[in-house]
Amino acid sequence: MEKVSVKVCLGTTCFVMGSANLQELIDIVPAKYGDKVDVSGVPCLGLCSVDWEFSKAPYVKVNNEVIKEATVEKVLSEIDKQLAK
């Protein structure tokens, strides 16, 4: 099975909008899913400028799904969805 990839945006906009809280995913995800999921912090995903007017930062990408206004709960439930595919 392909690994699910999780990219937590740590760019300035997302960081200011709360991705600092999402950094705990970097500990939680490997503890919960082991090597089925790869999680990493990445620089600006380029989404904040596209969507700036309605900025929905922080953004997290789970495979190709973009999660807006990401929270730990939203990210974990998307990971479960991707793993169930």
Q: Which residues bind ligand FES (CB under 6 A)?
A: 9, 11-14, 44-48, 57, 59
Give Cα 14 distance to the centre of its chain. Answer: 11
For residue 35, the minimal CB distance to ligand FES (Å) is 26
Longest dimension (CA), the chain: 38
Residue in the shown chain whose Cβ atom is closest to ligand FES? 11
For residue 21, the minimal CB distance to ligand FES (Å) is 14
Q: Where are the beta strands (DSSP E) in the chain?
A: 4-9, 37-42, 60-62, 65-67
For residue 34, the minimal CB distance to ligand FES (Å) is 27
